[in-house]
Amino acid sequence: MTKKNLITLGVAAVVLGTAAYLSGSGRKMKAPSLVGKPVMADFDLSQIAKIEIGGAKKMTLASTDNGWVLESLFGYPADITKIRENLLKLKELKVGHVAAGKKLEGGKMVDLQDASGKSVAALALGEMHQRQATGQMAQFGGGSYPDGRYVQVGDQVALVKETLEAFDGDPKSWADTQIAAVPAADITAVQMIRDDKMVKLTKKDGAWTMDGLTEKEEFDTSKSYGIDSALSYLNFTGVIDPAKTEAELGISTGAVYTVMLKNGQTYTAKIGNTVENGTDRYFKVKAAFSPTGTNEVENAAAAKAVEAFNAKAAKWTYTIASYSADNMTKTRADLVKAKEEPKKEEAKAEEPKAEAPKAAEPVKTEAPKAEAPKAEAPKSDAPKAEAPKDEAKK
């Protein structure tokens, strides 16, 4: 082999080696990075008519002729705002980090379907990512907290910044939990019945009075707060199967709480038994309207508000927190205190008079000074001693 051939072969080897390197390097550079990419295939929110969430707590939401409902909560109305908010989170979800070699744990499938039941988009969720507290948070005993979630993206596991806790199967994350928002300032009377005994309170000029008090009793005004606002910010802790009867839940024989408003609206609540193995109470509420004025516009608005309230809340049986139920189940003994006896107040007013003699004592000690003129009495007898002089002149 000539020298020229050797040089030619050497150059060819270098060229082939360089091409192979560049080819391999090109493949590595072309491998797409998932970071910043959408997690789910793009979908149109208006297409979604059903949301199925698997896992230990299965849940289904569906769009019906009456709006979105929670099928797993006996058809209770879902909050369309919360549905849109959570679907947007899925739509805008981006890969923040690729967890190489990690397997999804605690997985649950979220399936978004159209009106025909066809899957439009789906996502497998894993456990939340926990971040350890640092700085002042750690100094004051703060532990770890969720700051993201692992999800399945193709054949890899990625970490996203959203925790997506609404998809963990709690129906309350998708519903408006507020039962009532009755303004306490508009209430003119409250009536409570418990154990067949009634207590009635009336508000006049902003002050509460209680019916049936004796001369030795008075209403404990410190107990008024909570009574008139019991329906102001009332939220449910659960919704009960409509198949359950009021008798089964103790509602038909339980306490009754009624508030009357100045516009003629009345809200009557029934409080039943305590739930088994818990502290919450069974609860139902209904509104009514009886005009108190002649303004037709105001009366029509009040009547419409009552109709809307009953359509949403009156058909359901709920569970509420025990502290909310306590404000609606007061007895007479809880609201009355003994009136202070007037004699005690009079005795307090007379206490300063008992000290008067102490102020008079100095006058008594100066009494001897007042008798000093008696010692000069002999001087007043001097004229009698001169009588003999007059007789000598004669």
Q: What is the pLDDT of residue 57?
A: 85
Q: What is the pLDDT of residue 131?
A: 82
**Cβ of 279: how many Cβ atoms within 10 Å?**
12
To the nearest whole percent, how much of the chain has pLDDT over 90?
61
Residues 323-338: what's their mean pLDDT? Answer: 94
Half-sphere exposure of 231 (CA within 13 A, CB side): 30
| Average predicted confidence (pLDDT) for the chain | 83
On the question of pLDDT at 362 being above 60, the answer is: no
Please, what's the b/e burial string for 104-138 (b: 16 or more CB within 10 A of its CB; e: otherwise)? Answer: eeeebebbbbeeeeeebbebbbbebbeeeeeeeee
Q: What is the pLDDT of residues 271-326, one digit of tens each?
A: 999 999 999 999 999 999 999 888 999 999 999 999 999 999 999 999 999 999 99
Q: d(Cα 389, Cα 394) in Å, to the nearest integer?
A: 9
Residues 55-69: what's their mean pLDDT? Answer: 92
Q: d(Cα 190, Cα 187) in Å, to the nearest integer?
A: 8
Residue 51 makes CB contacts below 8 A (sequence gap 6+) with 60, 61, 62, 83, 87, 110, 111, 112, 113
